[in-house]
Structure 1
Amino acid sequence: MKTLVEDTTETYAPHIIIVGGTSGLGLALALHHQTLGWQVSVVGSSAAKIADINSQHPAIVTYVCDLTDPSQTRMLLDSLSGTQFQRLIYSAGSYTNERIHHLNQADSDQMLAINLQAFEQVFRWASSHLRQQLKQSCQALDMTKGDKLSLICIASIAGTMDYPYASLYAKSKRAMIATASAYRAALAPYNIQVNCIASGYIDTQALRDLNDGDASHKPFIMSTQAAVDHIMQAIVDDVELVIFPRSMRYITSALNHLPKPVLNWILRSKLDKAK
């Protein structure tokens, strides 16, 4: 087991909390940290997925929480208030394909709540909690660079595009990127790192479900393990905004250099619905 602090009586293993860690990329990150010797706690909304993790990975601590309910989220964070952790990843997300479906009230509420409001609630709590840990303990001073206190959020490459016709999903992810950048600046004096991940298509079950069971047609789609490798390296290198795969990073960068009316016309022309 990987240890960070050792004495004659016990070994110290770092602790990670992954919000949205019961499936897809979040679960893959949870299992990867477990193989590295981390204590792992995951939060999810599905009781069935929680039960599956409890059965297959009993060492992982699980929490059920509906992030669309601020009171439930507050109760979750209160229950975690006595827990020390060195890393938190916000991997929860909600997506509705606005190219096909007109956004209804329920989908709008859910995307706003999970992609932005709950994210802000969790990050505000986590940053305060980590700062308090630093005041109460010198343990963090002994950490190696790779295991320093850190907050990470999973955004989307869609959030790196700046154009007026962006979907609610893209706008909420763009707000997440900006919020993470602000936290990075605010927490720098505490030596707490903040990283934001803006990936392209990842071959998860959720993406396959959105595409009739097969997402192989998505451009530059990558495996979950490849995404985990990118994210872990970015954390080690402490990259503020990680955009991958490289091919999509180049494409979005080029598009962002176009005049806004041209970019808006190009992207709007791809939509299947009238506005």
Structure 2
Amino acid sequence: MNSKMKDFTQSIPTHKPSHLIVFGGTSGLGLALALHHHQLGWQVSVVGHSMEKIDNINSQHPNIVTYCCDLMDSVQTQSLLESLSDISFQRVIYSAGSYTNERVYRLNQADSDKMLAINLQAFEQVFRWASEQLKRQSYSSDCKENNRLSLICIASIAGTMQYPYASLYAKSKRAMIAAASAYRAALAPYDIQVNCIASGYIDTQALRDLNDGDASHKPFIINTQTAVENVMQAIDDDIELAIFPRSMRYITRALNHLPKPVLNWILRSRLDKPTGYS
């Protein structure tokens, strides 16, 4: 009886939990997605640059693995990626981002470098590395028994507007959307899922900090939990470009159907920076 029971239990397959790595996962939507996956039983690793935020995660969520890395430093980023190359993972989310309000402040060299480095250059560096790692893992049958291999990036609804007068932030997010679409096509033969998230305003601490502590006046703003639900639904439904909330999706779709000169006039008159700002 005991031997039969022993044989039965040994025949039950045991699987390691799926592993998620979130770049920009120490605050905002990135952290919320990391915590959500952790609650679902995923093994979670997060990458961020603030030691204060990392120490806070280590204290409150000791089972989450943390890495400190300045994504503006390509050498430091490459070193981190090489150290992660021996680790098996099934999903990568790139949620790191940098924003400067170019309607109020004239873009300086430091802000320009930061937005370009984090919103585009580090994203490309991470996605290139992650895609190669996932392609290798796609040949393993063990991976296919768990969650589908996937690459996710967090862009912005600003990147969905076909607007030549757009800010550096919007243009870098538009480039992210285009790159994610190319990776989706390239990785389809490997059965690797690629999704891009282009949300409107999310009520995060970073957004509140940019608005004197209160971002409730932002149009169609949603809370972080609603954003997480939308992201997870987009991943489950394998939506190539998920734009939410729905009201913002309809508005941007309508604006993009306007003749370009009309759209340019509307948005330029709305977003043009007054002279004298620095």
One-letter amino acid of the structure 2 residue matched with residue 191 of structure 1: D
% same residue: 76
Kindly report which structure 2 residues correspond to 1:41-190, keeping only aligned pairs within 5 A, or say none. Answer: 41-135=45-139, 137-143=140-146, 147-190=147-190
User: Greater CA radius of gyration, 1 or 2?
Assistant: 2
Whether 1:39 and 2:43 are equivalent positions in the alignment is yes
One-letter amino acid of the structure 2 residue matched with residue 87 of structure 1: R
Aligned-residue Cα RMSD (Å) equals 1.3
Q: Hey, what's the Cα distance between the residues in 2 that align with 1:11 and 1:149?
A: 15
Give the structure 2 partner of residue 28 of structure 1: 32
Q: Hey, what's the Cα distance between the residues in 1 that align with 2:212 and 2:137?
A: 46
Give the structure 2 partner of residue 17 of structure 1: 21
Verify the 8 A CA contact 2:198 2:241 in the aligned structure 1.
Answer: yes
Q: Hey, what's the Cα distance between the residues in 1 that align with 2:157 and 2:34?
A: 22
Q: 5+ residue gaps in structure 1? A: 1-5
- The number of residues matched between the two structures is 266
Verify the 8 A CA contact 2:17 2:43 in the aligned structure 1.
Answer: yes
| Superposed displacement of residue 196, structure 1 | 0.1
Q: Hey, what's the Cα distance between the residues in 1 that align with 2:55 and 2:11?
A: 36
| Superposed displacement of residue 252, structure 1 | 0.3
SS of structure 2 residue aligned to 1:198: strand
Q: Which moved more, 1:126-135 or 1:93-102?
A: 126-135
Verify the 8 A CA contact 1:152 1:196 in the aligned structure 2.
Answer: yes
| Superposed displacement of residue 140, structure 1 | 2.2
One-letter amino acid of the structure 2 residue matched with residue 142 of structure 1: E
> Cα deviation per residue 1:211-258 (whole Å; 9 max; x = unaligned)?
000000000000000000000011000000000000000000000011
Verify the 8 A CA contact 2:138 2:191 in the aligned structure 1.
Answer: no
Verify the 8 A CA contact 2:26 2:57 in the aligned structure 1.
Answer: yes
Verify the 8 A CA contact 1:100 1:272 in the aligned structure 2.
Answer: no
| Superposed displacement of residue 11, structure 1 | 3.7
> Cα deviation per residue 1:37-68 (whole Å; 9 max; x = unaligned)?
00000000101100000000000000000000
One-letter amino acid of the structure 1 residue matched with residue 76 of structure 2: Q
Q: TM-score, normalised by structure 2?
A: 0.93
One-letter amino acid of the structure 1 residue matched with residue 119 of structure 2: N
Give the structure 1 partner of residue 254 of structure 2: 254
Give the structure 2 partner of residue 3 of structure 1: none
Q: 5+ residue gaps in structure 2? A: 1-9
Q: TM-score, normalised by structure 1?
A: 0.94
